Amino acid sequence: MPPAVASPSPWRRRRRLVFQSVFQTDVSQPTPQVTPCARFPDQGQPFGGHGRSVTAGSDHGLAHAPTTTDLSSSSQSTIAATSRSDLYAPQPLFPSLVAAGNDQVAYDRAWHVVTARIALPSSATADDSFGTLPPDSQLYPASQQVVGSDQEFYDALALVVHASNLLPRATHTEDIIAWHAQQVRAHFAQHVIPLLSGCVEEEGDEEGGEAEVEAARGVGRSGTKRKSNYYERHIVIVMSSIRTLEAALRLYFYGLSLLVRGFGRLVNGSASEPAAAEAELLAARFRRDIRALVGNSASEDLMRSVRVVLVRLSSTILGMQTTDDGAAESAPPIRPSPPTDEDVKALAARQRLHELVEQLYNVGLAGERFQVLFAEIMDSMMSKFVNGAYAGVWTLSSTSSRSFSAAANTISQRANLSQQSTSPCILGLSDWIENHFARLSFEVLSRVSSDPSTSPVTLSDVKTYQSLALGRLAALRIAELFDIALAWPRSRCALDDLRSTITSTARRLQLTSNFSRTLQTRLLHPGCSTLEILRTYIAIIRTFHALDPSKVLLSHIEPSLQLYLCQREDAVRVVVTGLLASVDEIRDARKAKEFAERQHQSKTPKGDAESGPLLTPTISRRGNYRTPGPTRRSQASTPDPVVKDLPDTAVAAFGGRATANKLVELAFLLNDPTQTRRAASEDDELDWNDMSWVPDPVDAGANYKRPKSEDVIGTLISALGSEETFIKEFSSVVAGRLLGESARFDQELRVLDLLKRRFGEAALQNCDVMIRDVQDSRRVDAAIKRQREKAMGGNRATETPLRTPTVKKGTEAEEFEAQHQARILSRLFWPDLEREHFLLPTPIVEYQQWYEHGYETLKSKRKLTWLNQLGQARVELELEDRTVVVDCSTIEATVIYAFQDPDATRGNDGPARRSVDELYNQLQLDEDLISEALTFWVGKGVLRRVAPGTFVVVETLASSAAAESTSGDAEAAAVASPSEGDGEAETSGGASPRKQDSGSGLSAKEKERRAMYWQYVKGMLTNASASMPLAQVSMMMKMLVPDGFPWSGEELQEFLGEKVTAGDLEVVGGKYRLVRK
């Protein structure tokens, strides 16, 4: 007999005392009460009488006086007698007073026998007793010497169990099962839990001297595989915990099995079926209780270890890269992909997991907490897999196509699930979920489920998993959407994913809100040029169209973009110039695109090996490449629009140039037939034959109209605010181009047509008139020239190139001959063109007067006003050692012409020399413009600055070189070698006239405008409110100034700041107010 009975632990005794003192009631007791007599009066039970109970108590006490050995023998006989008499005579027992006492004694003895037999060891060396237990715990083959005590035990058990029948007088009866359960609990808490935590601590401690840890470390010590150690350590923790628990449970079930066997005998004796069932039920309940006990008392540390082990095993099974897999694989992060069936590592892990889960289940660690843990792990596995396998995978790469083909045969058989999605990502993911994820879930859950009849993972569960995984994929793609849009059209595949996953309104909302946020942080800030924003916008339009043809999503994200673009003043101009990009530029852009694509392909490691010739030399030349006009034009006339045979270097150069400064994509789209195809029938909402009709999306707005095509241009134009501003900008850009040198206006006409379709004929009447003006002036020109030929006879003005007043000048040539061409503009229809006053060279003035005259005779009562600064001239300069031919503006031509005035510096016997002041007096031209023109000529190597404000003609290059060596200042260096600096200078010069025109035109206009704005501000602060914050001023201005208020808040602030410094305004409390005079 174990010593537990003889010496009950002090803890238990203490507890009992405490319990009694609190509740004043009898608790279950393993041994009979020694001195209960004092208790009975106190309890005041209605049962029995007080007086009698005293004698019973004395009897009771007497009965317990003998030693343990006496007791066992005597009790045996007593019980045997009583039970026998009970069994054979189950009548109401003698109602005598003594009988009650006897019953109680008999019960207590029986109780003692039973509990002594199943009592648990309580020694501190309990772990040893686990080891020595097996001989006892071999349940059925009980050893010979215990047979006798077995019999005794079963008899006692019968008494204890059927106490109410057999010993009706015994007042203190107990449920033996409950007692056992309680004992087990106490034992578990007292001995097993410290052991378990010991396992965790010892193994968790890095320095722990445990042999198993040593063994585990022996493998990994040599290398740097600390991670491996980590896993090993945790699995050791788990395994030793499991072993400890197994031993403990063996001990507990031993007692239980004895009880159950006892019940079994009783049942055999009475042959009652319900009793057997009851016994089974009791045993099951006990088992359940024990499991719950173990499961709930498992420490956090243990669960953490279990988690580590589970994560490791399941990620291997699911094909995830574990960081501690091995030295060879750890170098590059490998995308997770489902493991193949013959993957040894996965198979081994699967085997290991199965064993582990079964063990865990057996020891009761697979309870609710384990299931929660497993669910969490699987959840994170799904996220990890989706993010790992599909982040950034937008194209059909070789790996995904492999999984696609692998998936195809399984998926295709289950057509009901795949929602006509052909995206390889989705197919791969569904396959993974079905064949790996759900399989693992099934395997684990079926091992831990208590009810084997129902499958833990049903088909609907698999579908739920799949929809969850698709949700994760959608979240991933939503997060990536901005990059997807940027990578359009290479990212089409990713869009397919997204399209088939954003099926709910919530996800659509998530998409739009997320994307809007990304827009704010990544695009709509001052760091992005308007061109970039617009280019991205186009990509976004196309992406979202592909994503959602109904355009509802686009309409949700657009407002912030549009609002921001409205603040960008140059947005309209960028769009208009983009629309008007020439054929050459379009082709360049297209080539650049192809080039970029090819470059991208060659960059991606998985791309096919056919990448073009090496492209390194392109980079150095990118940027200052300039298309030579005539040769490009000849190429333009070739019928094939795509010139394939250009070397890649040129392509790259085009790309760098064309994409850098113009929104050529628009022109590109303009020529795209799919873009221009507009729904011919706008009003046939109810086309009964339209089989592809789908209802409007639920999140569509009230006056939603289904768009028929992508219509990038339309979207863009409508995004840029009112059509008035757009048309205004368009006409001013077109005006600039019409006044340029181009001979034909095909592109302009096409864009005009497009805009007409959008805005209506009337709105664009001005542009029509402008184009007609230019065409008409060609005719008028010819007519006037004919008149002049008739009048002057000898002068032969031949067909001229298309220049406005084209002037040819020779510094040396005596004979003057110039060819002119004028463009007559109808003042009312053109945008405001400022008139810049200056004196043209006399020959030109004479010609102008004569032309005016001719015009007035041709068209009676009409008067010409010359806009001298808008012209262009080709100037031929004959210098001493060279001839320079330059296309320039009329201002520049006039300035250089002033240097050749014969009577000014001839006598000087040196190169012509002029100062800015002289030129100002002579030309009456704005000084700024004079300086600009001079700088232009200095850049051309024709003039040289000798002193501040004084310039001389560089007659010979040698002299310029000499001057450079002597003076050596910056200007000379700029002049230095025309051949080298030519390209650069020419481009800058070519760009200057128009800029300069608009600049000078603006300055006067701007002044006027500012004066008017000041009136507004004054009026506002006088009348509307005496003081106003900046935002309100800005808002009022935007609302009230006709044609819109173009200034941003900053500009307005600057303007008001000027007024504050001028003393007109003051700022009080962040509000502006007028200074009272």
Partner 1 sequence: MEDSQNAAPGSVSANKLGGARKAADPGQNAAKRLQTELMMLMTSPAPGVSAFPSADGNLLSWRATIEGPDDTPYAGLTFKLSFEFPSNYPYAPPTVIYRTPIYHPNVDFSGRICLDILKDKWTAAYNIQTVLLSLQSLLGEPNNSSPLNGEAAELWEKDPALFKSKVMDRHKDLEDD
Which residues make up the interface to partner 1 (CB under 8 A)? 1012, 1015-1016, 1018-1020, 1022-1028, 1032, 1035-1036, 1039-1042
750 or 1071: CB nearest partner 1: 1071
Nearer to partner 1, 511 or 1020 (CB): 1020
Q: At its nearest, how many Å lie between partner 1 and the CB of residue 572?
A: 22
Q: Cα separation of 423 and 479, whole Å?
A: 18
- What count of Cα atoms within 13 Å lies in the side-chain half-sphere of residue 861? 0
Are 442 and 457 spatial neighbours (Cβ–Cβ below 8 Å)? Answer: yes
Kind plus residue range of the DSSP H or E element containing 966: helix 957-967
Least distance in angstroms from the C-beta of 1049 to partner 1: 17
Whole-angstrom distance, CA of residue 514 vs CA of residue 479: 7
Distance from C-alpha of 1057 to C-alpha of 1010, rounded to nearest angstrom: 13
Tell me the β-bridge partners of 947.
950
Q: How far is the CB of 1037 from partner 1 (least distance, A)?
A: 11
As measured in angstroms, the least distance from the Cβ of 1041 to partner 1 is 8
- DSSP code for 188: I
Cα pseudo-dihedral 472, 473, 478, 482, rounded to 10: 140
Amino acid at residue number 955 = E
Nearer to partner 1, 1042 or 1063 (CB): 1042
**Min dist. Cβ of residue 684 to partner 1 (A):** 13
What tokens does 28 get?
Answer: 């279950």
Is residue 628 helix, strand or coil?
coil
In terms of CB distance, is 782 or 1024 closer to partner 1?
Answer: 1024
Q: How far is the CB of 836 from partner 1 (least distance, A)?
A: 23
Q: What is the DSSP string of 659-713?
A: HHH--HHHHHHHT-HHHH---S-SS----TT-TT--PPPTT--TT----SS--HH
Q: Where are the alpha helices (DSSP H) in 318-458?
A: 327-330, 344-363, 368-390, 398-412, 424-432, 438-448
Name residue, tokens 């060596």: 965
Nearest distance from residue 1029's CB to partner 1, in Å? 11
Work out how close the CB of 715 gets to partner 1 at its nearest, in angstroms, rounded to a whole number. Answer: 26
Place of tokens 């091992």: 447
- Token representation of residue 659: 């994409």
Distance of closest approach, residue 1006 Cβ to partner 1, in angstroms: 15
Question: How far is residue 788's CA from residue 783's CA, in Å, rounded to a whole number?
Answer: 9
Minimum CB–partner distance for residue 612 and partner 1 (Å):
59
- Which has the closest alpha carbon to 879: 989, 983, 961, 957? 957
Crossing angle for the helix pair 226-270 and 145-161, to the nearest 10 degrees: 70
CB of 1054 to partner 1, least distance (A): 20
Nearer to partner 1, 178 or 1068 (CB): 1068
Tell me whether residue 522 or residue 1010 sits nearer to partner 1 (CB atom): 1010
Query: 95 or 1042: whose CB is closer to partner 1?
Result: 1042
Q: Which is nearer to partner 1, 405 or 1022 (CB)?
A: 1022
Least distance from partner 1 to the Cβ atom of residue 1032, Å: 7
CA 218 from centroid of its chain's CA atoms: 44
Residue with smaller CB distance to partner 1, 49 or 1019:
1019
State the distance between the two ends of the chain, measured CA to CA, in whole angstroms. 115
Q: Tell me how far, at minimum, the Cβ of 1042 lies from partner 1, in Å.
A: 5
The smaller minimum CB distance to partner 1, of residues 920 and 1055, is found at 1055
C-beta of 389 vs 1028, nearer to partner 1: 1028
What is the closest distance, in whole angstroms, from the C-beta atom of residue 1016 to partner 1 in the complex?
Answer: 5
Question: Within 13 Å of residue 214, how many CA atoms lie on the same side as its CB?
Answer: 4
- Closer residue to partner 1 in complex, CB, 1019/1070: 1019
Distance CA 454, CA 439 (A): 16
Looking at the Cβ atoms of 801 and 1046, the one nearer to partner 1 is 1046
Residue 953, beta-bridge partner list: 943
Q: Which is nearer to partner 1, 148 or 1019 (CB)?
A: 1019
Strands 943-947 and 913-915: unpaired
Strand order in the sheet with 1027-1029: 1027-1029, 1071-1074, 1065-1068
Look at the block and give the residue holding tokens 């929660």. 372
Q: DSSP 3-state assignment of 885?
A: strand
CA atoms of 391 and 335, how far apart (whole Å)? 9
Q: Residues with Cβ < 8 Å from 966, sequence gap 6 or more?
A: none
The minimum distance between CB 998 and partner 1, in angstroms, equals: 23
Q: Looking at beta carbons only, is 279 or 1037 nearer to partner 1?
A: 1037
List phi, psi (to 5°) of 939.
-60, -30
Nearest to 204 by CA among 297, 306, 125: 306
